[in-house]
Each structure stands twice: as structure tokens, then as C-alpha cells.
Structure 1
Amino acid sequence: MLASSQQRNVARRASALLIGSMLAIGLGACAEMSQIVQSGAASSQTSESALVRGIKESLELSSVRAADLLSAAGGYQNSTRYRIRLPESVQPLASRLRQFGLGSQIDQVEKLMNQGAEHAAVEAKALFVNTVRTMTVNDALSIIRGNDTAATQYFRGRTEAELRQRYQPIIRSNLQQIGFYDQYDKLLSAYKQLPLGNKPDLDLEQHVLNRSLDALFTQVGEEEKAIRKDPIGRGSSAIAAVFGR
């Protein structure tokens, strides 16, 4: 009888020890799981932060390099790709004007158009950088999943309307400073006196604005492609961590 009572006491103590051990293990596992969850959340936040930082750096580099290239002396004028010429609709007329001895005036007008675009490109950098700094995580995710110029497409969609509004007075101001309108008026005056019918409109200011912006975004896209192709050589370790995956 006594032996049986002692056995029951031993069994109770063993059961209590077992339950205590299980509770301790369970609590420890919960604490460990909590740490894993917290660590995972922190890792996710770090990953998102690195993603956004890499995308922003890539876009800022692309836009600044494009603006620097085109704002340099001859950036438009000496470029076989981006040089701004008279509109296509005016080219046949330009040939006729050259026949009337106005070739030098046409060349001077085109030169000043390109210089105006080069001067305006200097002002574009600040607008580009400010836009890059407002980028969100969702913006960055859509870019990393996109094609070779996804960042440029995002950039153009977000900036072109505002850039166009702010760029136009910049273009106009710079064209005024370099004497474009004086040359343009001389050309128009001679043009109006020519015995030609069906003369096209020579509104060149809007033409310069459109061509200069097209060239700017095209070059941003070229810079982006180069960075994606060689993220370390053309970018940085932060960019390589994103595009090198």
C-alpha cells in the first residue's frame, strides 16, 4: 500500500517535471519564433530600402549623365543623333532658301537652336534629381520588374508635363540671350519677301522644345541601359545589388 502511494508520488513529480520542461521548451520556441519574425521583418525592410536606394541611384546617375552630355558645348550641335535641324516639313523650303542665298542664315539659326537646347539642359538636372528623391517602394518595384528603359519611362511619365512647362521659358530665355530671335527675324523677313507659295509655318521655338526633350529622355534611356548591362562599371555596388540579381 505504502509502495503504491510512493509510486504515485514519483509519477506525479515526473509528470510535473515533464510538463514544466514542455512549457519551457514551448516558451523558448515562441521567443525564438518571435525573433525570427522580427528578424524577417527587419530583413524585408532592409531589402526594400536597398532596392529603392539602388533604383534611385541608377536613375539619378542616368539623368545627370544625360544632362551633362547634352549641356556641354556642342552637346546637341555636334551630335549626329541629337542635332536639332529645321523641321522636316521645312527642309524642302530650306533647300530653296539656300538657292536664294540664305544658306548662312539658315545655318546660324540651326546653330542657335542647338545652343539654346544645350543651355536649357543645364537647368534640367535639378528637376530630375528632385523627382528621383520622391520615388516610392512601389515605383522601384515596377522599375526593377520592367524592361531596359523602365526607369526612364517612369521618369518621363512623372516629369515631362512639369518639365515641359518649366523648360519652355528656359528655352525661350536662352534663345533670347544668344541672339536667336534676331537671326530668326532676319530669316523670316527674307522668307516673307520670297516669291513662294504655300509657305509652311516657321514656329521654331516649339520645335526646339520638343526635340530637346526627346533627345534628353532618349539619352537617359541609353545611360540606363548601360548601367543595367554593367552595374558595377557604370554604376555602384548598391546598383549592382539590384540589377545584378
Structure 2
Amino acid sequence: MKLENTPFKKISITFTLVTAMLLASCDTLSQLGSALDLGTPTESEINSGLKQALEYGTSYASERLSKEDGYLGNIAVKILFPEEAKKVENTLRSFGLGDLCDQVITSLNRAAEDAAIEAKPIFVAAIKDMSITDVKNILLGSNNAATQYFEGKTTTSLEGKFKPIIESSLTKVGATKYWGDVINRYNKIPLMTPIDPDLSSYVTQKAIDGLFYEIAKEELKIRENAAARSTILLQKVFGYAEKQGK
């Protein structure tokens, strides 16, 4: 049976057209929001909009890093040997002990991934404590103003939360053993100066550095990319910031 001029074909064509229109609308929603004059946001809208964006961005960053390979698979935040131990790694690899070095690197990153999710409540608390002055300064500040705020307000809490988790995880995933093997083998090599870096402090700091790196990416995205503003409120607040010279 041919479908020409049948009711079924007419319905099918109509459905296709409606679907295409809906998809186009979704793709251009944020652009339309930016193009329209949504007006000047109230103080309450600025407060709610910025905090909404910050809570999403920090939660997304910590959740992404807490997944398997969140650190290990992300070259920008992947934790490698401490700088003072680079010579250790290079020397051991030259002796055919590359697998042992790789085990150390994997275990360091697994420890950081175990700790990353614990950042969420710390950031939520910092966001709730923001005054309206803090909010306005962040909104109208530099492209990493929020990241800088979090670094100042949460680093000490993150260190206190991360370090015991990382110490436990380093033992659980075998990093302590692998690291001990690496250092012992290196320190036995003639003419080498013995070293013994504080592994848990190093991984804790690198894990936090990676977290702030990802938060900075999320902050820049919502400031510069209108498509990342998923609600009218976010479009209004960050559109206002753009008009103020941001």
C-alpha cells in the first residue's frame, strides 16, 4: 500500500516537522535568552542565581573527579611522581622497573579519586555562608573569582577532610607498599642521595589542586558560554554580568 496522500503520511510529516522545530528550539534556548533583554536581576535573583551556578559547578567537578579515572584519565590533573622524586622514576625505569612506577602512579590517583567526593559538602557550606557582598564581588569579578574565593575559604577544610581519606586509601590500594618498594630500591642504588617524600601530603595537595582546576573550568564555562546557562535565572544573572563589562 502506497502512503501518498494518506492520513498516516500527513501525520508522519507533521510529527517530523514538529520534532525538528522542538530540537531547534532546544538548541537555541540559551541564545534566545541572551538575545532578549531579561532586565536587571534583583538582589535576590543575583544571590540565588550565582549560588545555584556555584553549587552545580562544584558538585559536578567533585563528582567527575571521584569516578574511576577521574584523575588518572585526565592529563590536566593526573598525579605523577613528586618533583623531587622524578629522578627516582627515571632511574628505575632505566633499570626496567617501569611497571612498578606505573603502579605507584595509578595508586596515587586512585587515592585522590576516593577523596574527591568529600569536597561537595565543604563547598555547599561555603556557598551558604556567602554574603550578598561576596556574591556580587564574585559575579562581577574576574573569570576565576569564584575559584579564588573557594581556595581561600575551603582549602584548610579540604586538607583536613582529604588527608585521612588519602592516607587510608594509599594503604588500601597498595600505594604505600609500592612507594616503599620504589624508594627502597632507589635508595640502595650506589651514589644516589636517599629521599623519602611525604606521600600523603603530596597527594592531598595535588588532589586539591586538581579539584580547583576543574572548578575553574566550570566557572569559565558558565561565564563565557551562554549555552551553559540552563535556566532563565542563570541567563538573566550572567547576562547582566556581561553588560556590566564581564
TM-score interval for Structure 1 and Structure 2 normalised by the shorter chain = 0.7 to 0.9
In 1, Cα distance between equivalents of 2:228 and 2:214:
18
Q: How does 1:216-231 map to 2 (within 5 A)?
A: 216-231=211-226
Q: Which runs of 5+ in 1 are unaligned?
A: 1-43
- Number of residues paired by the alignment? 201
Q: Which residue of 2 aligns with 1:57?
A: 52
Q: Deviations over 1:146-176 (max 9, x none)?
A: 0111111111111111111221112112222
Which residue is 2:201 aligned to? 206
Q: Deviations over 1:207-241 (max 9, x none)?
A: 11111111100110110110112345344222222
| 1:200 positional shift | 3.5
Please give the alpha-carbon distance, in whole angstroms, between the structure 2 residues aligned to 1:94 and 1:193: 14
Contact 1:231 1:239 in 2 (8 A): no
Determine whether 1:189 maps to 2:197: no
Please tell me whether the aligned partners of residues 221 and 228 of structure 2 are also in contact (alpha carbons under 8 angstroms): no
Please list, as runs of the form range in 1=range in 2, the aligned pairs for 1:87-126 lying within 5 A after superposition.
87-126=82-121
Alignment TM-score, normalising by the size of structure 2: 0.76
Residue in structure 2 matched with residue 177 of structure 1 by the alignment:
172
Alpha-carbon spacing, 1:56–1:182, altered in 2? closer, same or farther (3 Å):
same
Match for residue 42 of structure 2?
A: 47
State whether residues 88 and 183 of structure 2, in contact with CA within 8 Å, keep that contact through their aligned partners in structure 1: no
Gapped runs of 5+ residues in structure 2? 1-39, 241-246
Deviations 1:64-122 (A, max 9, x none): 11112211111111112111100223212311112223221111011000011111101
Larger radius of gyration: 1
% identical equivalent positions: 35
Name the structure 2 match of 1:35: none
Q: SS of the residue aligned with 1:240?
A: helix
- Which structure has greater helix proportion? 1
Segments ≥4 residues shifted beyond 6 Å: none
Superposed CA RMSD in Å reads 1.8
TM-score relative to the length of structure 1:
0.76
* Alpha-carbon distance between aligned partners in 1 of 2:179 and 2:199, rounded to the nearest angstrom: 9
Give the alignment of 1:60-79 within 5 angstroms: 60-79=55-74
Give the SS at the match of 2:159. helix
